[in-house]
Amino acid sequence: MLGIQNKKRSARRIILTILLTGLAIGSAPAAHAQTKEETLAKIITITASNLLDSAMHVRSARAADFNEHIAAINQARPLEAANLDSAHVNQNISRTLNFIEYLKQYRASGKVFINQFEDSIFILVSNYPPVREKHLIKDLGDAYMADDKAFDKYVSALSTIYSQVLDVLLFLHHTPYEVKNNAPEFRSAKDNGEYRKLVGQLDDLQKQASSAAAASRKSTAIVQKKLREFNKIESNDSSPQ
Protein backbone atom coordinates (compact mmCIF):
# COMPACT_ATOMS: atom_id res chain seq x y z
CA MET A 1 0.00 0.00 0.00
CA LEU A 2 2.83 2.40 0.84
CA GLY A 3 4.46 1.70 -2.53
CA ILE A 4 1.23 2.52 -4.37
CA GLN A 5 0.82 5.77 -2.44
CA ASN A 6 4.41 6.79 -3.22
CA LYS A 7 3.85 6.07 -6.93
CA LYS A 8 0.70 8.24 -6.90
CA ARG A 9 2.55 11.07 -5.21
CA SER A 10 5.44 10.78 -7.69
CA ALA A 11 2.95 10.91 -10.56
CA ARG A 12 1.34 14.06 -9.16
CA ARG A 13 4.77 15.66 -8.82
CA ILE A 14 5.64 14.83 -12.45
CA ILE A 15 2.33 16.28 -13.69
CA LEU A 16 2.79 19.50 -11.73
CA THR A 17 6.37 19.84 -12.98
CA ILE A 18 5.18 19.50 -16.58
CA LEU A 19 2.47 22.12 -16.01
CA LEU A 20 4.94 24.58 -14.52
CA THR A 21 7.42 24.00 -17.35
CA GLY A 22 4.67 24.56 -19.91
CA LEU A 23 3.62 27.78 -18.21
CA ALA A 24 7.18 29.04 -18.20
CA ILE A 25 7.67 28.30 -21.91
CA GLY A 26 4.35 29.85 -22.86
CA SER A 27 4.94 33.00 -20.87
CA ALA A 28 8.59 33.62 -21.70
CA PRO A 29 8.10 35.55 -25.01
CA ALA A 30 5.80 38.06 -23.25
CA ALA A 31 8.37 38.78 -20.59
CA HIS A 32 10.44 41.12 -22.85
CA ALA A 33 12.94 42.71 -20.47
CA GLN A 34 12.51 40.07 -17.80
CA THR A 35 14.99 37.23 -17.55
CA LYS A 36 13.72 33.66 -17.76
CA GLU A 37 14.51 33.34 -14.05
CA GLU A 38 12.38 36.36 -13.21
CA THR A 39 9.56 35.09 -15.41
CA LEU A 40 9.61 31.66 -13.81
CA ALA A 41 9.76 33.23 -10.35
CA LYS A 42 6.63 35.30 -11.08
CA ILE A 43 4.79 32.28 -12.49
CA ILE A 44 5.62 30.14 -9.48
CA THR A 45 4.75 32.96 -7.09
CA ILE A 46 1.30 33.23 -8.70
CA THR A 47 0.93 29.44 -8.62
CA ALA A 48 1.98 29.37 -4.96
CA SER A 49 -0.49 32.15 -4.15
CA ASN A 50 -3.31 30.23 -5.83
CA LEU A 51 -2.28 27.06 -4.01
CA LEU A 52 -2.26 28.84 -0.66
CA ASP A 53 -5.63 30.49 -1.35
CA SER A 54 -7.08 27.08 -2.19
CA ALA A 55 -5.52 25.51 0.91
CA MET A 56 -6.92 28.24 3.15
CA HIS A 57 -10.36 27.83 1.56
CA VAL A 58 -10.29 24.09 2.27
CA ARG A 59 -9.00 24.79 5.76
CA SER A 60 -11.86 27.23 6.44
CA ALA A 61 -14.51 24.82 5.13
CA ARG A 62 -13.11 21.95 7.20
CA ALA A 63 -12.95 24.15 10.30
CA ALA A 64 -16.60 25.20 9.89
CA ASP A 65 -17.69 21.57 9.52
CA PHE A 66 -15.56 20.51 12.49
CA ASN A 67 -16.93 23.28 14.72
CA GLU A 68 -20.49 22.30 13.80
CA HIS A 69 -19.92 18.70 14.91
CA ILE A 70 -18.12 19.80 18.08
CA ALA A 71 -21.01 22.12 18.96
CA ALA A 72 -23.50 19.29 18.47
CA ILE A 73 -21.68 16.83 20.74
CA ASN A 74 -21.10 19.55 23.35
CA GLN A 75 -24.79 20.36 23.32
CA ALA A 76 -25.59 16.70 23.96
CA ARG A 77 -23.51 16.79 27.19
CA PRO A 78 -23.42 12.98 27.42
CA LEU A 79 -22.07 12.75 30.97
CA GLU A 80 -24.03 15.56 32.57
CA ALA A 81 -26.20 14.42 35.49
CA ALA A 82 -29.40 15.53 33.78
CA ASN A 83 -28.60 13.18 30.88
CA LEU A 84 -27.77 10.05 32.84
CA ASP A 85 -31.22 8.48 32.62
CA SER A 86 -31.39 5.38 30.44
CA ALA A 87 -33.10 7.13 27.51
CA HIS A 88 -30.43 9.83 27.24
CA VAL A 89 -27.62 7.31 27.78
CA ASN A 90 -28.85 5.21 24.86
CA GLN A 91 -29.17 8.26 22.62
CA ASN A 92 -25.72 9.51 23.56
CA ILE A 93 -24.11 6.14 22.91
CA SER A 94 -25.27 6.49 19.30
CA ARG A 95 -24.23 10.16 19.12
CA THR A 96 -20.80 9.45 20.57
CA LEU A 97 -20.21 6.54 18.21
CA ASN A 98 -21.12 8.76 15.28
CA PHE A 99 -18.85 11.53 16.52
CA ILE A 100 -15.89 9.15 16.94
CA GLU A 101 -16.46 7.90 13.37
CA TYR A 102 -16.65 11.50 12.16
CA LEU A 103 -13.30 12.28 13.78
CA LYS A 104 -11.79 9.21 12.14
CA GLN A 105 -13.03 10.26 8.70
CA TYR A 106 -12.02 13.88 9.33
CA ARG A 107 -8.44 12.85 10.05
CA ALA A 108 -8.33 10.53 7.04
CA SER A 109 -9.55 13.19 4.60
CA GLY A 110 -7.14 15.69 6.13
CA LYS A 111 -4.19 13.38 5.48
CA VAL A 112 -5.18 13.02 1.82
CA PHE A 113 -5.33 16.80 1.41
CA ILE A 114 -2.09 17.55 3.26
CA ASN A 115 -0.22 14.95 1.16
CA GLN A 116 -1.41 16.70 -2.01
CA PHE A 117 -0.43 20.06 -0.54
CA GLU A 118 3.01 18.76 0.40
CA ASP A 119 3.58 17.44 -3.13
CA SER A 120 2.62 20.80 -4.62
CA ILE A 121 4.90 22.76 -2.29
CA PHE A 122 7.75 20.33 -3.03
CA ILE A 123 7.45 20.92 -6.78
CA LEU A 124 7.14 24.69 -6.45
CA VAL A 125 10.23 24.94 -4.26
CA SER A 126 12.17 22.48 -6.44
CA ASN A 127 11.48 24.55 -9.57
CA TYR A 128 11.93 27.95 -7.97
CA PRO A 129 14.99 30.00 -8.94
CA PRO A 130 17.19 31.13 -6.02
CA VAL A 131 15.22 34.31 -5.32
CA ARG A 132 13.87 35.83 -2.11
CA GLU A 133 10.38 34.31 -2.46
CA LYS A 134 11.72 30.74 -2.48
CA HIS A 135 12.45 30.47 1.23
CA LEU A 136 9.15 32.16 2.08
CA ILE A 137 7.15 29.57 0.13
CA LYS A 138 9.10 26.72 1.71
CA ASP A 139 8.79 28.19 5.21
CA LEU A 140 5.08 28.82 4.73
CA GLY A 141 4.53 25.31 3.38
CA ASP A 142 6.45 23.81 6.30
CA ALA A 143 4.50 25.94 8.79
CA TYR A 144 1.18 24.96 7.21
CA MET A 145 2.05 21.25 7.38
CA ALA A 146 3.27 21.60 10.98
CA ASP A 147 0.02 23.34 11.86
CA ASP A 148 -1.98 20.57 10.22
CA LYS A 149 0.00 18.00 12.21
CA ALA A 150 -0.61 19.90 15.45
CA PHE A 151 -4.35 20.12 14.82
CA ASP A 152 -4.47 16.44 13.87
CA LYS A 153 -2.87 15.69 17.24
CA TYR A 154 -5.64 17.69 18.91
CA VAL A 155 -8.32 15.81 16.95
CA SER A 156 -6.66 12.54 17.94
CA ALA A 157 -6.83 13.63 21.59
CA LEU A 158 -10.53 14.39 21.19
CA SER A 159 -11.06 10.96 19.67
CA THR A 160 -9.41 9.38 22.70
CA ILE A 161 -11.58 11.44 25.06
CA TYR A 162 -14.82 10.46 23.38
CA SER A 163 -13.76 6.84 23.21
CA GLN A 164 -13.47 7.05 26.98
CA VAL A 165 -16.85 8.80 27.17
CA LEU A 166 -18.27 5.91 25.17
CA ASP A 167 -16.79 3.44 27.66
CA VAL A 168 -18.53 5.30 30.50
CA LEU A 169 -21.86 5.32 28.65
CA LEU A 170 -21.61 1.61 27.82
CA PHE A 171 -20.83 0.86 31.45
CA LEU A 172 -23.96 2.77 32.48
CA HIS A 173 -25.96 0.98 29.82
CA HIS A 174 -25.00 -2.46 31.16
CA THR A 175 -24.89 -1.71 34.91
CA PRO A 176 -27.91 -1.14 37.19
CA TYR A 177 -27.91 2.30 38.89
CA GLU A 178 -30.09 5.17 39.99
CA VAL A 179 -29.41 8.88 39.66
CA LYS A 180 -29.38 10.47 43.12
CA ASN A 181 -27.95 13.83 44.14
CA ASN A 182 -26.90 14.51 40.54
CA ALA A 183 -24.79 11.37 40.33
CA PRO A 184 -25.32 7.69 39.49
CA GLU A 185 -25.62 5.43 42.54
CA PHE A 186 -24.74 1.78 41.97
CA ARG A 187 -25.84 -1.32 43.83
CA SER A 188 -22.33 -2.51 44.63
CA ALA A 189 -19.13 -0.85 45.77
CA LYS A 190 -17.33 -2.59 42.91
CA ASP A 191 -19.53 -0.96 40.29
CA ASN A 192 -19.20 2.39 42.02
CA GLY A 193 -15.42 2.06 42.02
CA GLU A 194 -15.34 1.08 38.35
CA TYR A 195 -17.47 4.08 37.39
CA ARG A 196 -15.25 6.47 39.32
CA LYS A 197 -12.20 4.95 37.68
CA LEU A 198 -13.62 5.37 34.17
CA VAL A 199 -14.67 8.96 34.81
CA GLY A 200 -11.40 9.77 36.56
CA GLN A 201 -9.42 8.78 33.47
CA LEU A 202 -11.17 11.56 31.58
CA ASP A 203 -9.41 14.22 33.65
CA ASP A 204 -5.95 13.27 32.34
CA LEU A 205 -7.25 12.92 28.79
CA GLN A 206 -8.81 16.38 28.93
CA LYS A 207 -5.52 17.86 30.13
CA GLN A 208 -3.75 16.25 27.18
CA ALA A 209 -6.36 17.62 24.78
CA SER A 210 -6.03 21.09 26.32
CA SER A 211 -2.26 20.96 25.83
CA ALA A 212 -2.69 19.81 22.22
CA ALA A 213 -5.17 22.63 21.58
CA ALA A 214 -2.70 25.20 22.92
CA ALA A 215 0.05 23.82 20.67
CA SER A 216 -2.32 23.96 17.71
CA ARG A 217 -3.16 27.62 18.38
CA LYS A 218 0.54 28.44 18.58
CA SER A 219 1.29 26.73 15.25
CA THR A 220 -1.66 28.52 13.62
CA ALA A 221 -0.22 31.86 14.72
CA ILE A 222 3.05 30.94 13.00
CA VAL A 223 1.20 30.13 9.76
CA GLN A 224 -0.57 33.47 9.87
CA LYS A 225 2.75 35.27 10.39
CA LYS A 226 4.38 33.44 7.47
CA LEU A 227 1.35 34.13 5.27
CA ARG A 228 1.57 37.87 5.99
CA GLU A 229 5.26 37.82 5.05
CA PHE A 230 4.52 36.04 1.77
CA ASN A 231 1.60 38.33 0.91
CA LYS A 232 3.76 41.38 1.54
CA ILE A 233 6.40 40.12 -0.91
CA GLU A 234 3.75 39.18 -3.48
CA SER A 235 2.13 42.60 -3.16
CA ASN A 236 5.47 44.37 -3.67
CA ASP A 237 6.24 42.25 -6.73
CA SER A 238 2.86 42.96 -8.34
CA SER A 239 2.99 46.73 -7.76
CA PRO A 240 3.81 49.03 -10.70
CA GLN A 241 7.51 49.41 -11.28
How confident is the model at residue 32, as a pLDDT?
Answer: 47
Position 155 in a domain: yes
3-39 per-residue burial string, b: 16 or more CB within 10 A, e: under 16: eeeeeeeeebbeebeeebeebbeebeeeeeeeeeeeb
Q: What is the CATH number of the domain that holds 112?
A: 1.20.120.570
SS3 at position 85: coil
How confident is the model at residue 168, as a pLDDT?
Answer: 97
- The DSSP symbol for 179 reads E
Residue 131: how many other CB atoms lie within 10 Å: 17
Position 86 in a domain: yes
Query: Cα–Cα distance between 98 and 117 in angstroms, integer?
Result: 28
Position 123 in a domain: yes
Position 20 in a domain: no
Domain that holds residue 62: 44-238
CB 162 within 8 A of CB 74: no
Indicate the number of domains in the chain.
Answer: 1
Position 96 in a domain: yes
Instruction: Report mean pLDDT in 10-residue bins for the chain, 241 residues.
Output: 49 44 42 64 80 87 95 94 93 97 97 92 80 79 93 97 97 94 92 95 94 95 88 62 43
How confident is the model at residue 205, as a pLDDT?
Answer: 95
CA dihedral 172, 175, 180, 183 (to 10 degrees): -40
Position 35 in a domain: no
pTM: 0.80
Position 25 in a domain: no
Position 31 in a domain: no
How confident is the model at residue 136, as a pLDDT?
Answer: 81
